[in-house]
Amino acid sequence: MQLSTKHLLGIKDITTADISLILSTAQQFKEVLQRPVKKVPSLREVTIVNLFYENSTRTRMSFELAEKRLSADTINFTASASSVKKGETLLDTVNNILSMKVDMVVMRHSASGAPHFLAKHIPAAIINAGDGINEHPTQALLDAFSIKEKLQTLEGKKILLVGDIMHSRVALSNIYLLKKMGAELMVAGPPTLIPKYIAEALQVKVEYNLKKALEWCDVANVLRIQLERQNQVLFSSLREYNLAYGVTKKLLDGLKKEILIMHPGPINRGVEIDSDVADGHQSIILQQVENGVAVRMAVLYLLSGSKNS
């Protein structure tokens, strides 16, 4: 079985069959990761560059570990410590790296569309590790994997995305993916952080009352307020945001059911989520991080066209 695409630039452009193949391959790699010897030789002849133009903890380390578990050769590039600081362009940087015989590029960039631009100009396979406010496809894949692991299926499940929908690439990739896989989607948050087009264009429910949104869902994926991407004041204060939209234990205890709590990280404790919820028994936040390695192994393996399968 093969993916229908050479790159993973976003969830919008991949098929339901691609998503199912990545999730089932990730399940096999998750089993490998439970063994005493967690390494397989699948990408022994493949060299991968992790090209990070924006900060990251989880995604970067998860890709690095996935590459090592697959026996790939890896090099790491951090824009802030590179010749980008001397004015070198993205395309020059990447062409110089590729001349060292690199096969695949994992790329995070603050500009939406940066990996799509690169895909038009270079021969290597590109994996989008988050581009601006556009997409974060591997986050959506690991979120879907984690929901499926807990609830067996995505079909018919009610998934809530709560918080800064406007600036969230995680939200967009999750909406594309979960809708393709038959889930029902709702977004919740302050009106200023929810794009006006979203209900009609993406066919999602919109709710401005957090309690009602939590009563509706099976899973709440809580998103961070992305202060670094906001160039105007979109809510009065973090304290007031927490009072209206913070997910608290009191809110969860008031529901007639137990829902799953997710968060892509990094968490702003006491803003969008309280510590006793983030660390509570309904939270699968660290399981999301664990599953990220298996999901990224699957993506790398399937896009490599591996010679060692």
Q: Which residues would be at the binding site for ligand CP (CB under 6 A)? A: 56-60, 130, 136, 139, 264-266
Do 72 and 47 contact (CB within 8 A), yes or no? yes
Strands of 29-165, DSSP E: 47-52, 73-78, 104-109, 125-131, 158-162
Q: Which is nearer to ligand CP, 42 or 138 (CB)?
A: 138
Rounded-to-integer distance, Cα 229 and Cα 188, Å: 19
Longest CA pairwise span in the chain (Å): 59
Q: Which is nearer to ligand CP, 182 or 266 (CB)?
A: 266
Non-local (6+) Cβ contacts of 158 within 8 A are: 183, 184, 186, 216, 217, 218, 219
CB of 193 to ligand CP, least distance (A): 18
CB of 56 to ligand CP, least distance (A): 3
Q: Which is nearer to ligand CP, 40 or 297 (CB)?
A: 297
CB of 264 to ligand CP, least distance (A): 4
Q: Which is nearer to ligand CP, 58 or 269 (CB)?
A: 58
Non-local (6+) Cβ contacts of 78 within 8 A are: 52
DSSP assignment of 161-175 equals EES--TT-HHHHHHH
CB of 2 to ligand CP, least distance (A): 27
Rounded-to-integer distance, Cα 256 and Cα 57, Å: 36
Q: Which is nearer to ligand CP, 42 or 221 (CB)?
A: 221
CB of 266 to ligand CP, least distance (A): 6
CB of 252 to ligand CP, least distance (A): 22
Q: Which is nearer to ligand CP, 157 or 263 (CB)?
A: 263
Q: Which is nearer to ligand CP, 56 or 82 (CB)?
A: 56
| Whole-number Cα distances in Å, 98 to 8, 81, 91, 104, 121 | 18, 19, 10, 9, 12
Calculate the dihedral angle through the C-alpha atoms of 226, 230, 233, 234, rounding to the nearest 10 degrees: -60
CB of 263 to ligand CP, least distance (A): 9
Rounded-to-integer distance, Cα 60 and Cα 39, Å: 19
Among candidate residues 80, 257, 232, 84, the one with its CA nearest the CA of residue 166: 232
Q: Which is nearer to ligand CP, 20 or 57 (CB)?
A: 57
CB of 145 to ligand CP, least distance (A): 14
Rounded-to-integer distance, Cα 214 and Cα 251, Å: 8
| Whole-number Cα distances in Å, 188 to 154, 210, 245 | 20, 6, 8
